[in-house]
Structure 1
Amino acid sequence: MKRAERLHALSEMLRRSGVRGRTAERLAREFGVSVRTIKRDLVALEHSGAPIWSRPGPGGGYGLAAGASLPPVSLSPAQAVALMASVSAASDAPYADLAAAGIRKILDVLDPRTRARADELAGRVWVDAPPPSSRAVRSALEEAMAEQRVVRIRYTSKEGATTSRDVEPVMFASTNGQWYLVGWCRLRDAMRWFIVSRIERAGVTKLACTGHTIHEVGSPPATARPVHGWGE
């Protein structure tokens, strides 16, 4: 890992550690470098304006000051392309349009040299993603999930039966190459998995969800994890 990339990753790790912080020894192990190198990196971050705090003695370590603003986001060309590739390859994922818009904002503020290198590298990465499901359907499902409101769907099962259902959205899940809406089906009075591509229509109602949680869905497979688990 190049030093610039390590500095970005180091600042993110410190941000995620919150008030606990992390010791220089642990940071050194995480990045496979010496403690002396990590301390030099911490000094470099501090000089760049990162709000780093240090706490000496047992239980001490380094972290980022709570509530302090961070320096403007800066990415390496490879990091920028990684974001573009991830979103392009998962265009049917929940909130993919918002992710793409966020990436465009980041790319717009990159310095011209980094942007040019990122554009050149992006041309070397191709994806053949399946066509996304209806934008109107996905927008309704995303809104219902975020606002925790009942969504009324028209759904066709794999057997060809079409029904109208009121569903309390609990989670989105991706498995076997397909995205599912998992929620409490008021028609069946049970938790159900709906393949998003089989939802023909969806509309958000004014009805609030009644509090069903992901714990009612069951245990996830060993390979499954929530998206905020990246890098942990």
Structure 2
Amino acid sequence: MTRTARLYALVEELRAAAPRPLTVAALATRFEVGTRTVQRDLQALMRGGVPVRSIPGRGGGWSIDREMTLPPIHFTADEALALTAALASADAATPYAGAARTAAQKIIASMAGPASAAAQELAARIVTLPTHGDSAVRKAVERAVADNSVLRLSYTDAAGHQSDRIVEPAGLLTADGRWYLIAWCRTRRAGRGFRLDRIAAAAPTGEQARHHDLTELLLGSAAAGAVQPTALAPLTPPPCATPQPESSPT
């Protein structure tokens, strides 16, 4: 078994046992390697962002948070290449770009032989121009959208006017190479779009946001024709009618 295959097998072994921890000795026996090898593998998983953790004391060992991991997904070679290309093209200003980069690395690592070489070669032939977005702002927006939490923004509009806003995120919009946070603005008491590169500062308030329907916030705005990426459509369309596409506020 290759090291890459063993790393994935370790994750699945821990997932199958969760929440019960497994000892290094048990894992070493299971994969017919030394305990030091297992320790190095577990440390490598931690560095790669896999939510494995060590539980000290009697009855302890290593465990994984099943809520934070996915079961194995089997891609065709073409699907893996397409995902590698899409993820590799995410620049620093793209929301969740860091996670996209590590996801691309994991996809390449999961492939073997010619497929892996082809994916690495393809990724090496995709380049993006550097951007200068504020990483702290981007990370705060990413977390607020994912957690549905309220943000305090310092924002400069197209006319150069600066204002402070308290907003309740509803989603993200991309248009013409720009990214926008779509949110309910408590200051304006309406849905608004905030261009990410115009947000000077973003800070969490610790407050849970109310749910806001993205479609409703976008209706009647300049982005009335916005649609969900076709890549996110279900593989088997449901029998019911497809909802109307979203639009965006000004």
Per the shorter chain, which TM-score range? 0.5 to 0.7
Distance (Å, rounded) in 1 between the aligned partners of 2:72 and 2:163: 51
Aligned match of 1:200: 200
Match of 2:119 in 1: 118
Q: Give the direction of change, closer, same or farther, for the CA distance of 1:114–1:168 in structure 2 (3 Å limit).
A: same
Residue matched to 1:15: none
Structure 1, residues 18-53: CA drift from partner, whole Å, max 9, x if none?
Answer: xxxxxxxxxxxxxxxxxxxxxxxxxxxxxxxxxxxx
Partner of 2:139: 139
Larger deviation: 183-192 or 219-228? 219-228
Aligned to 1:217, the other structure's residue is in SS state helix
Q: Which residue of 2 aligns with 1:224?
A: 227
1:94 positional shift: 2.0
Contact residue 108 and residue 120 of structure 2 kept, 8 A: no
Counterpart residue number, 2:38: none
Tell me how far apart the structure 2 counterparts of residues 100 and 80 of structure 1 sit (CA, whole Å).
Answer: 14
Match of 1:175 in 2: 175
How far apart, CA to CA, are the structure 1 residues paired with 2:161 and 2:86? 34
**Residues 216 and 71 of structure 1: is their aligned pair in 2 closer, same or farther, counting only changes over 3 Å?**
closer
- What SS does structure 1 have at the residue aligned with 2:218? coil
Could you tell me how far 1:215 is from its partner in structure 2?
3.2
The match for 1:97 is: 98
Contact kept, 8 Å, 2:88 with 2:104, in 1: the verdict is: no
Q: How far does the alpha carbon of each residue in 1:68-91 deviate from its partner, in whole angstroms, 9 at most, with x for none?
A: x97663441x44342232123332
Q: What's the TM-score once normalised by structure 2's chain length?
A: 0.57
Q: Which residues of 2 match residues 41-52 of structure 1 at below 5 A?
A: none
- Residue 183 of structure 1 aligns to a residue in which SS? strand
Residue-pair matches, total: 162
Equivalent pair of 2:88/2:100 in contact (CA under 8 Å): no
Show CA shifts across 1:106-147 (max 9, x none).
211211332122223444x33334515222111111111111
Counterpart in 2 of 1:214?
214
The one-letter amino acid of 1:95's match is Y
Distance (whole Å) between structure 1 residues aligned to residue 159 and residue 126 of structure 2: 35
Residue 105 (structure 1) shift = 1.5
In the other structure, the counterpart of 1:188 is 188
Change (3 A) 1:79 1:145: same
Identity of aligned residues (%): 33
Q: Which amino acid aligns with 1:98?
A: A
Residues 88 and 129, structure 1, Cα contact 8 Å, conserved in 2:
no
Does the C-alpha gap of structure 1 residues 174 and 137 become closer, same or farther in structure 2, counting only changes over 3 Å? same
Greater CA drift, 78-87 or 94-103 = 78-87
Matched residue type, 2:228? R
From the superposition, tell whether residues 182 and 121 of structure 1 become closer, same or farther in structure 2 (CA, over 3 Å): closer
User: How far apart in 2 are the matches of 1:82 and 1:114?
Assistant: 12
TM-score by length of 1: 0.61
Task: Tell me whether 106-115 or 222-231 shows the greater mean CA deviation.
Answer: 222-231
The CA distance in 2 between the partners of 1:72 and 1:211, in whole Å, is 31
Q: Report the alpha carbon displacement of residue 201 of structure 1 after superposing the two structures with TM.
A: 1.0
Give the superposed CA RMSD.
Answer: 2.6
How is 1:33-112 mapped onto 2 (pairs within 5 angstroms)?
Answer: 73-76=74-77, 78-91=78-91, 92-112=93-113
